[in-house]
Structure 1
Amino acid sequence: MNFDQILAAVGGFGKYQKILYVWICLPNVLLAFHMMVSIFSGATPPHLCQDSLDPEVHNGTFDYTPLILNSSAADSCSWSQKALRDNRSPPLQCVHGWVYSKDTFLSTTVTEWDLVCDSAHFNNVGSSIYMFGLLVGSLVFGSLADRYGRRFVMLLSIALQSVFGVAVAFAPNFIVYVILRFVVGSTVSGVIINAFVLGTEWTCTKRRMLAGIITDYAFGLGYMLIAGIAYLIRDWRKLQLAISAPGFLLIFYIWVVPKSARWLLANNRKDEAIALLRKAALVNGRVLPPTLQMEKCEIGSQRRHTALDLVRTPQMRKQAFILFYLWFVNVMVYYGLSLGVSRLGTNLYLTQLVFGLVEIPARSIVLFVLPLSRRLSQGGFLAIGGLACLCMLAVPADQQNVLTGLAMVGKFGITASFAIIYVYTAEIFPTVLRQTGMGVSSMFARIGGVLAPMINMVHNHSPNTPLVIFGAGPLLGAVLALMLPETADRPLPDTVEDVENWDTRSPTSASRCV
């Protein structure tokens, strides 16, 4: 009996697993809040230099909103009364600060700390630092999870995320705000990769793809909900508090979230694993095979593995590098399109909602195509996302509806690809390196996340450059995906040797109980 057969005997997707999926989905809703809140909390409303306004504006008796809404970008960042009058004198730089339209936002980080004009780049830099936090978190929490377990690191990440998320709402200045957001970003990685792997390792072969897809549904739900929450709460500090405080309600996870039995076996903690399997069998209405208690179950060797083991052997190395690139390009394009939603020129709240709605059919279609082929599904959806971005190059800038439609198609393809990469990666990396592999993959993903705001920043100087990058990157990924092994309906590899002998090993060669 290998571990997958044991899991099938106790119920590979019974009541026990379904309850577990509820627990791993709830934090993913909160993750989407933290990932997307900057679209609203860091929004730049129409603004105008105070120096260019009439004196009566400053005493608060004059409604300056029409002036702001009708001002051009040049008027917003520099002014000269004489230049405005005869259009000849060079504009002067704004000295006394800006006034902002409160038509859409009562307060954002931009309006509070005047992150406009010469300081506008700080907004994108802040987003990149947040994404860098995800990169650091993927390394730190991925490595810790292979050593201390998926459950422990996930609970630790949720706790830190709640504490520092609330602290962000009280940041006294932009530097402190960025530092706190960096910490929140690192905890997001800790939650997302451990929740996913925990679900995967408790699910039987035929249903394990659901661990990735169902948690992605939860993320998509949060993606849509943040639009409604932000619509109701227009002050960025109150909004940050509203999305962070619910994390404290998850304290009961200490008592309900189980450890990974597969990880326990891989770390020679057989008694704990058998106890958990017995509990799962009881909840699922099954009976644990009685002979299992007397067997010595091992998953691979007991030596400690490190990230270097991902590149020591040829097949593992090839597959790891391809996966690293696929993670990189998926996240770069996913967040490049998501964070660039304000450039589409339509209602921000509505567009955010529609971008979230697109994720539902994207993830749903994955449920139908993924059982047929992981490899072809991954490559096909990457190609759809890349081609949609390249097609946007041929659309005039004034055709906002067409651009938005193509952006939706690109978001659809990349979202589906993003859902697949989680499942595919967990199935390719062996148990002894699965969390480390997920962590390093997530590190490369976060490099893409760090670059996404910077690439969007290039749009002001070269509008076509971001689309070329977001289009060509996925197409290259589609070709590389075809070089990966097919994992559909195959048992999870448990050792590096299983990966090296992928084509020759039998379906029952891994996780053997003797």
Structure 2
Amino acid sequence: METSLEEDSRTKEFDGVIFGASDQVFSRYEDSSTEVTYTYILQTAGEFGCFQRILVALTFIPNILSAFFMLGGTFMLKMQPHHCNTDWLLAIQPNLTMSQLFNLTLPRKKDGSFEECRMYTPVQWDFDSIVKYGLNDTQDCQNGWFYLSHEWSLITEFDLVCNKASERLRAYCIFVAGLFCGSLLVGTLCDRIGRYKSILLMLMFYAVFGLGAAFVPTFSIYQMFQFGIGIAIMGYTISSISLVIEWLVSSRRVHAIVLAQCFLVLGHLVLSVLSASIPHWRLLHLVGSIPVIFLVSYIWLLPESPLWLMMRGNVEKAKFLLCRAASINKRIIPPELLQKLTNEKIHQGTIMDILKSPNLRRRTLILSYVWLCIGLGYVGLSSQLHKFPINMNGSHLAFRLVEVPARLCSIISMEKLGRRKSQVLALLLGGLTCLYSAFIPEDLTSITTTLALMGQIGLSAAFTIACIFSAELFPTGLRQVGLSFVSLSYSIGVIGTLLIESLDHDHPETFMTVCGIMTTVGGLLCILLPKG
């Protein structure tokens, strides 16, 4: 089938990549005359002056909230030890100890522990007869549950145990569905209304759904709010990365994105500290999310992307923002240089532009698979924390602390080895350690924990490198669409984690085996990506 010259030239325009002196991958748009002029003006305005530092810091702060909302459910929905409420016997004999009450009213499992969802059927006997003859008939819990922990979580408030235990998994699935929808919508949203307005909209979602979740009257409403939070997290992540990338020259982007990931880790650490000191889930959610109120100031503080304004034909506003940035950086942009900015619009591509180009199509499919593996492994390893021989807060803290050196070392790795080799090595480290740990006996806790931490290091570095590599491999006109498309795969990976975990009780090695094989294959596939 013949194509028009316009379609053919557009496909070629999106298809090529050019390698700079530092072997960094740039799209043709970033090497076109418009982009070179824009990059040169950014350098003239100050590569990383006071303006860029403030902008980067502002976009990083909400990442702390993102981390809190993303993993808050790990603590607020963690299972609590419980048994059926059998206080009917206290009406007959009120001075019983807890041990006596359980021994008389709760059946035991094969391992000798008390049943959590079954109880002996109440009888109208006197206490001596109950002690002498015992109880035999059992039934499901009828009068609620007794919780052994003093923590007031979502589990205890809404009784999400026994026949309602599946509500916990449903809440996670609804949250991931929000991530999926956020990935699907934010690319188009950023291109239509801009990076600035997209960020403000996502921050409004944080305020409404994040802060509002602390006041929900029912668990069904809480699940609805989790969907909104999922949209906000993914939407803010993509739109903020786009804004930062388009305000920085290429040599500064890596450090900015890695630092943004470190702020995510800081949010995880804050969550660990708060969850250890605040036993009530509503108060924990309120304390963790109330800083979103101060983000209303972003209406006046954040700028729009000059590159997006140029793509929309609003060159005068772009010039104004660039001059303001130069003024804050105590630099001056020569007027003759500003005049080189024209009203020429850069083509806004769609997913069809990616699929029609063989090189971009292959590149996108590989990146999508890589993001799927990262979502599967990174979130899955976090869900395995309860299996390690230290308490939940301690294991969560240890896992997050190892992420900081992993992400910082990824900077050195990318500078010395390039993007592609760094991505391959990080995925292989994460995949092989997960695969090895699947065959280590559970009683060898020190080896299991060490391998899990090594897997976390590899997957954390892979996540950071993938953010940078993916943003650079897509042309400017397709960057939003491309990032949205590959982030969909991340959401699918998280969903896969939940599905695999449902089998984990009977097959504990299933998750690590699947994660290890898929991630190792993803690392090998990255060899086919362009050298970066």
TM-score under structure 1 normalisation? 0.88
Q: Does the aligned pair in 1 maintain the 2:347–2:477 contact within 8 Å?
A: no
Q: Please give the residue correspondences for 1:172-191 in structure 2 after superposition, counting only pairs within 5 Å.
A: 172-191=217-236
1:507 corresponds to which residue?
none
Tell me how far 1:389 sits from its aligned partner.
0.9
SS at match of 1:460: coil
The CA distance in 2 between the partners of 1:476 and 1:65, in whole Å, is 56
Task: State the Cα deviation string for residues 335-367 of structure 1 (Å, max 9, x = none).
Answer: 111122123242011111111111111111011
Task: State the Cα deviation string for residues 355-386 of structure 1 (Å, max 9, x = none).
Answer: 11111111110111112310011111111111
Tell me how far 1:315 sits from its aligned partner.
0.9
Task: State the Cα deviation string for residues 37-62 of structure 1 (Å, max 9, x = none).
Answer: 11110011111122499537997985
Q: Does the aligned pair in 2 maintain the 1:40–1:230 contact within 8 Å?
A: yes
1:500 corresponds to which residue?
none
SS at match of 2:356: coil
Match of 2:144 among 91, 97, 109: 97
2:118 corresponds to which residue?
78
- Asked if 1:461 is matched to 2:506, the reply is yes
SS at match of 1:276: helix
Q: Does the aligned pair in 1 maintain the 2:89–2:101 contact within 8 Å?
A: no
Task: State the Cα deviation string for residues 434-466 of structure 1 (Å, max 9, x = none).
Answer: 112111221221111222222222211211111
Q: Does the aligned pair in 1 maintain the 2:67–2:267 contact within 8 Å?
A: yes
SS at match of 2:528: coil
Tell me how far 1:78 sits from its aligned partner.
2.5
- Rate the CA distance shift 1:271–1:96 in 2: closer, same or farther, 3 A: same
Tell me how far 1:139 sits from its aligned partner.
1.4
Query: Across the two proteins, how many residue pairs are aligned to each other?
Result: 482
SS at match of 1:209: helix
The CA distance in 2 between the partners of 1:205 and 1:362, in whole Å, is 22
- Rate the CA distance shift 1:91–1:434 in 2: closer, same or farther, 3 A: same
The CA distance in 1 between the partners of 2:55 and 2:322, in whole Å, is 14
The unaligned stretches of length 5 or more in structure 2 are 1-35, 123-130
Identity rate, percent: 31
SS at match of 2:324: helix
- Asked if 1:339 is matched to 2:374, the reply is no
- Rate the CA distance shift 1:290–1:86 in 2: closer, same or farther, 3 A: farther
- Asked if 1:17 is matched to 2:52, the reply is yes
Letter in 2 for 1:178: Q
The CA distance in 2 between the partners of 1:303 and 1:58, in whole Å, is 80
Tell me how far 1:256 sits from its aligned partner.
1.0
- Asked if 1:30 is matched to 2:65, the reply is yes
In our comparison, the structure showing a higher alpha carbon Rg is 2
Letter in 2 for 1:157: M
- Rate the CA distance shift 1:64–1:90 in 2: closer, same or farther, 3 A: closer
Letter in 2 for 1:16: F
Q: Does the aligned pair in 2 maintain the 1:388–1:471 contact within 8 Å?
A: yes
The CA distance in 1 between the partners of 2:481 and 2:133, in whole Å, is 65
The CA distance in 2 between the partners of 1:387 and 1:60, in whole Å, is 57
- Rate the CA distance shift 1:460–1:6 in 2: closer, same or farther, 3 A: same
- Rate the CA distance shift 1:19–1:345 in 2: closer, same or farther, 3 A: same
Q: Please give the residue correspondences for 1:19-418 in structure 2 after superposition, counting only pairs within 5 Å.
A: 19-51=54-86, 55=90, 62-63=97-98, 75-80=115-120, 92-103=139-150, 105=151, 107-297=152-342, 302-372=346-416, 373-418=418-463
The CA distance in 2 between the partners of 1:345 and 1:209, in whole Å, is 36
Which segment drifts farther, 31-40 or 171-180? 171-180
Tell me how far 1:390 sits from its aligned partner.
1.1
Which segment drifts farther, 373-382 or 308-317? 308-317
Tell me how far 1:193 sits from its aligned partner.
1.1
Tell me how far 1:428 sits from its aligned partner.
0.7
Letter in 2 for 1:18: R
Q: Does the aligned pair in 2 maintain the 1:52–1:81 contact within 8 Å?
A: no
The CA distance in 2 between the partners of 1:298 and 1:208, in whole Å, is 26
SS at match of 1:169: helix
1:6 corresponds to which residue?
41
SS at match of 1:458: coil
The CA distance in 1 between the partners of 2:210 and 2:469, in whole Å, is 31
Task: State the Cα deviation string for residues 204-249 of structure 1 (Å, max 9, x = none).
Answer: 1112112210110100000111011111111111111122221011
Q: Does the aligned pair in 2 maintain the 1:56–1:62 contact within 8 Å?
A: no
The unaligned stretches of length 5 or more in structure 1 are 488-514
Q: Does the aligned pair in 1 maintain the 2:120–2:135 contact within 8 Å?
A: no
The CA distance in 2 between the partners of 1:64 and 1:246, in whole Å, is 44
The CA distance in 1 between the partners of 2:198 and 2:95, in whole Å, is 52
SS at match of 2:83: strand
Match of 2:524 among 479, 492, 500: 479
Which segment drifts farther, 3-12 or 466-475? 3-12
Tell me how far 1:96 sits from its aligned partner.
2.6
SS at match of 2:146: strand
SS at match of 1:263: helix
Tell me how far 1:414 sits from its aligned partner.
0.3
- Rate the CA distance shift 1:294–1:188 in 2: closer, same or farther, 3 A: same
The CA distance in 2 between the partners of 1:240 and 1:75, in whole Å, is 31
The CA distance in 2 between the partners of 1:423 and 1:205, in whole Å, is 10
- Rate the CA distance shift 1:328–1:57 in 2: closer, same or farther, 3 A: farther
1:512 corresponds to which residue?
none
